[in-house]
Chain A
Amino acid sequence: MPRERPGRWYRGLLALFPPSVRKERGPEMERLFEAMCRERLEEKGALGVGFRVAAVWDALGGALVEWLSAARDVIRSVTAKTMGEHMFALWGDVRFAARQLVQQPIYSLTIVFLMAVGIAGNAAVFRIVNGLFIRPLPFEESERLVDLNETAPQWDLEILGIAYRDFDRWRAESRTFEAMTIVDFDGGNAMIDGSPLHLDYLRTTHDADDVFRVEPVLGRFFEAPEDQPDGPGVGLLTYAFWQQQFASDRDVLGRTVSIAGRPVEIIGVLPPESRFVGESDMWLPLQEDPTEFDGWSAGGVGRLADGVTIEQAREELLAIHKGMVDEFDVNEISFPTVSTLRDRFLGDYRLGSGFLMAAVAVVLLIVCANIAGLVSARSMGRSQEVAVRRALGAPRGRIVRQLLTESAVLATVGAAAGLLLGVWGSGAILSRLAEEFPRWVTFDLDARFMTFAVGITVAAAVLFGLAPALQASGRALGGTSRTTGSLRRRRVMSMLVSGEVALALTLLVVGGLTVLDARRLADVDPGFEADGLMGYRLSLPEGRYDSEARLAFVDDYLSRLEALPGIESAAVASSLPLSGHWGWFFVAEGAPPRGEDDSNPVVLNRVVSPSYFETAGVEFVAGGPFDDFHGRERGTRAVVVNETFVRTHLSHVENPIGARVAPGTDLPDDPNWMTVVGVTRDVKHYGVDEEMRPGVYQPIRQFALAGFQVALRVRGESSAILSQVRALTTEIDAELPVFDVVTMNEEMDEALWARRASSWLIAAFSAVALLLAVAGLYGMISYTVGQRTREISIRMAVGAQREDVLRQVVRQGMVLVAFGTVVGLGLSLAGARLVSGLLVGVEPRDPVVYGGVTLLVLVVAATANYLPARRAARLDPMEALRRE
């Protein structure tokens, strides 16, 4: 099993080491560990728990030792450099602070914990955002690389694909590009050393190396004559495939593999970093003919010339493209698009990750406010100590520095814990998400991440440390009287509390909207029955199977599949739900002619065997499926359409059953009519969170596919069924690999995973925010009540009722809460508008969410308010006064 890598999880452990150590020894350690795993597997057959635990233990211990020694080195180098008074003083401050903090473990641990919570979220989200949007892509001068494509608004197609003849002209005439190429992902059956396998390959032009600036590690790149139609069969191996399949054999050059029945000579090996968008095993020359129009398919990548902006490039391509309208009038409808690689491939994630970033920043702000409250309350209790130190001649600066040092020590410890937590947490998220992103997106911890981590730690420490520090030392000067000091502090605390309530409410509303949205999406009916539906791909070599043979194969294959135990029914389809788009145009008989600029939406075309509807659980609203005779000859051609198709194409007929449609943008003289025999409910082919297009199903007799997906409705364990299926397939044709196996439930789950995960993350952050805000409120009210014991006692001594006191204290707290709630609702409306682009099933002003969240905040806040108020009202006035 060359693809299996037993110790892959070990890399996650290496992330815990200091970067320098990881860089220096990481690869060797990984290699050693892999060797150990292999040895172990050979000996025992499995790694075993003991082995894993020992490895994790060794790595954790090792990482700790390395961090400690790195920290010691830094301190040594710093102290060695400026052995002056300052460093001695600072070191003294740190030691003093540490002593102080150890003496108050609850206080210190609370702050460390709060800080860890605040930093963990920020670290986790920043790591993701950094990988997606900030760090440069792994290509030379990657900022000059752009995505090229075409768009056709009139056909309702945002991404059309590029026609090769358009590309050929763009490349020849444009001056704003240094180079441009086409990348087309494809796959096929291959024979390597006599064994069949499915190969994913990328077809590209001979000058792709100028765009990506890659140089083969072995051999050479394509040459122009090899990129002609009918050019020779040559290809390059990707680095990973070279390692896996050929064990990094340097003599691989000149060897021949067979791809789709055609011999291909290996002329080179690509470097490890040349991975583009998807994973592929080989690169082959495109070999397209610009004089033959073969539709729109692949995407393109360009390298802008030095100093050219995307707008300039777009304008120039548009001019070239529209200059071709005289020759090809379809260029009237299509437009070239030029966008950054990130916008094209990651644009969908921008809003969501931006919002997550904002959410964690808010949590950190609330954390800072809470810590500031804590530090402030504590510094109150230390006024005496500070006064003594002032009296003994400690300068004000020194005292501020001492208090700041305490904050810094706590912040650092908390931040370190938070960072570890954040790295682990984001690792867990990313391990699920990695498949969704292009292969050039990486999430290693880099200098940017470290700078960010240090930056927010320092910012947080200053934020929660500086204000109380200044306050404390100011009071020690004796310049302000006690009452005005506490009044000012109360005002600051009031603001903190109102602010916390406002921020927490905002997060809760937005979090509530996204969670509700994710839940509703999970309940959306996809239009087919995902439970028990699985699929895989087969591709019949066209050389050995002509269209008659393909149809015969499908008939025979499906009936033998259905005879297997555990398989209720089997079908083939050009694409199962969630797996790709194949667009055709259709015209209906008798439809009013479309105007010049009327939209003519592209139709999702699916070619299926008659049993498909039953197998996939697609329901009919009218008519029924095809039978075995439909499509056998001209005049019996049939089609099943979906409800959206009826709306877009058949609104002019009373009964869609029996209506006739023909493929094409315009009606030809002798239309190849297909009769509508059934109307199905819409299947959410592109995902439950996407709009559905008009769609048709054609019988496979009408279009004999060579490559297709097989759909199985199964009972019981899918892996057991799969091995029978493989055996059966090999029995029929030993050279047919079964590949891309999916179960529909997993696919659906996977498709919504990112949305669900981010909504729950936001919900978790907002719950944390609410908890923190409530804790802050409780602390603040308790503190105020404590300050006013004397006043309350006097009032009660002169006859005020307990209820009056209770009411007054609660009212005072609730004024702050109410103020925070109003501000929070305003912020929520603004925030919800920002995320409305993410919401599919929920209105951004959903009254239930707003009402529910407001009620929750009010109830929780009132409780936090009531408890200290009740304590105040229970005071025995005489006792309290005596204590004063």
Chain B
Amino acid sequence: MIARPFKPQYFQILLALASRELHGYAIQRAVLEQTDDEMRLWPAMLYRSLTKLEEGGLIRAAEPPEDEPEDERRQYYALTDAGRERLREEAETLARWARQAGAAEG
């Protein structure tokens, strides 16, 4: 179980995996894009996060697609049901906080 506060990079990784299974480099690219170039996950950070998320049961290792050449096999990752659930929870929390901030600014 990964406790709160849920690290921003965890959130972005889950988000990147929400629609499709990806390998490390593709996850990095996806996070970079969805954060408008703000969050670049360097190798050590990325793979440690992936390990943590996998240990926490939020993602799992996935088979590479059939058409990927064998010698270039990379490790793919996919969301688990728990991961999908957690992503939804976190997104709701963030949305709630954003609403509260908006209300406060008034």
Binding site for B on A (CB under 8 A): 10, 17, 24-25, 28-33, 35-36, 54-55, 58-59, 61-63, 65-66, 243, 248, 250
Q: How far is the CA of A25 from the CA of B45 in the complex (A)?
A: 11
Known contacts A29-B47, A59-B43, then 20 further A-B pairs from the complex at CB < 8 Å, ordered by chain A residue: A25-B51, A28-B74, A28-B75, A29-B44, A31-B74, A32-B25, A32-B46, A32-B47, A36-B25, A36-B43, A54-B42, A55-B42, A58-B44, A58-B45, A61-B45, A62-B43, A66-B48, A248-B69, A248-B71, A250-B70
Number of A-B contacts (CB under 8 A): 55
Residues of B within 8 A of A10 (CB): 43
In the assembled complex, the CB of A8 is this many whole angstroms from the nearest CB of chain B, namely 14
Known contacts A25-B51, A62-B48: A33-B43 contact under CB 8 Å: yes
Q: How far is the CA of A748 from the CA of B69 in the complex (A)?
A: 45
Q: Is B72 interfacial (CB-CB < 8 Å)?
A: yes
Binding site for A on B (CB under 8 A): 24-25, 28, 40, 42-48, 51, 69-72, 74-75
Residues of B within 8 A of A32 (CB): 24-25, 28, 43, 46-47
Q: How far is the CA of A765 from the CA of B13 in the complex (A)?
A: 49
| Closest A residue by C-beta to B25 | A35
Q: Which of A17, A24, A58 contacts B42 (CB 8 A)?
A: A58
B44 A63 Cβ-Cβ under 8 A: yes
B28 A248 Cβ-Cβ under 8 A: no
Residues of A within 8 A of B71 (CB): 243, 248, 250
Q: How far is the CA of A58 from the CA of B74 in the complex (A)?
A: 22
Q: How far is the CA of A58 from the CA of B49 in the complex (A)?
A: 13
The majority secondary structure among interface residues of chain A is: helix
Q: How far is the CA of A242 from the CA of B71 in the complex (A)?
A: 11
In the assembled complex, the CB of A540 is this many whole angstroms from the nearest CB of chain B, namely 37
Q: How far is the CA of A250 from the CA of B51 in the complex (A)?
A: 32
Task: Jot down 11 A-B pairs with beta carbons below 8 A, ordered by A.
Answer: A29-B44, A29-B47, A31-B25, A32-B25, A32-B28, A36-B28, A54-B40, A54-B42, A58-B43, A248-B69, A248-B71
Q: Which of A17, A33, A59, A62 has the most CB of B within 10 A?
A: A62
Q: How far is the CA of A147 from the CA of B9 in the complex (A)?
A: 55
B42 A250 Cβ-Cβ under 8 A: no
B25 A62 Cβ-Cβ under 8 A: no
A61 B44 Cβ-Cβ under 8 A: yes
The majority secondary structure among interface residues of chain B is: helix
| Closest B residue by C-beta to A33 | B43
Q: How far is the CA of A310 from the CA of B24 in the complex (A)?
A: 50
In the assembled complex, the CB of A44 is this many whole angstroms from the nearest CB of chain B, namely 14
Q: How far is the CA of A473 from the CA of B48 in the complex (A)?
A: 47
Known contacts A31-B25, A32-B24, A32-B25: A62-B72 contact under CB 8 Å: no
In the assembled complex, the CB of A754 is this many whole angstroms from the nearest CB of chain B, namely 34
Residues of B within 8 A of A59 (CB): 42-44
A62 B45 Cβ-Cβ under 8 A: yes
Q: How far is the CA of A234 from the CA of B38 in the complex (A)?
A: 54
Known contacts A32-B28, A54-B42: A248-B47 contact under CB 8 Å: no
Q: Which of B42, B45, B72, B75 contacts A248 (CB 8 A)?
A: B72
Q: How far is the CA of A36 from the CA of B25 in the complex (A)?
A: 8
Q: How far is the CA of A485 from the CA of B69 in the complex (A)?
A: 76
Q: Which of A24, A35, A62, A248 contacts B44 (CB 8 A)?
A: A62
Q: Which of B43, B47, B69, B72 has the most CB of A within 10 A?
A: B43
Residues of B within 8 A of A62 (CB): 43-45, 48
In the assembled complex, the CB of A271 is this many whole angstroms from the nearest CB of chain B, namely 12
Residues of B within 8 A of A33 (CB): 43
Residues of B within 8 A of A65 (CB): 48
Residues of A within 8 A of B25 (CB): 31-32, 35-36
In the assembled complex, the CB of B3 is this many whole angstroms from the nearest CB of chain A, namely 15
In the assembled complex, the CB of B73 is this many whole angstroms from the nearest CB of chain A, namely 11
Residues of A within 8 A of B28 (CB): 32, 36
Q: How far is the CA of A738 from the CA of B90 in the complex (A)?
A: 62
Q: How far is the CA of A297 from the CA of B28 in the complex (A)?
A: 53
| Closest B residue by C-beta to A249 | B69
Known contacts A28-B74, A35-B25, A58-B42: A250-B69 contact under CB 8 Å: yes
Q: How far is the CA of A30 from the CA of B75 in the complex (A)?
A: 13
| Closest A residue by C-beta to B43 | A29
Q: Which of B24, B40, B45, B72 contacts A28 (CB 8 A)?
A: B24
In the assembled complex, the CB of B96 is this many whole angstroms from the nearest CB of chain A, namely 31
Q: How far is the CA of A54 from the CA of B28 in the complex (A)?
A: 15
Q: Which of B24, B25, B42, B69 has the most CB of A within 10 A?
A: B42
Q: How far is the CA of A570 from the CA of B75 in the complex (A)?
A: 55
Q: How far is the CA of A683 from the CA of B61 in the complex (A)?
A: 63
Q: How far is the CA of A168 from the CA of B11 in the complex (A)?
A: 67
Q: How far is the CA of A819 from the CA of B48 in the complex (A)?
A: 58
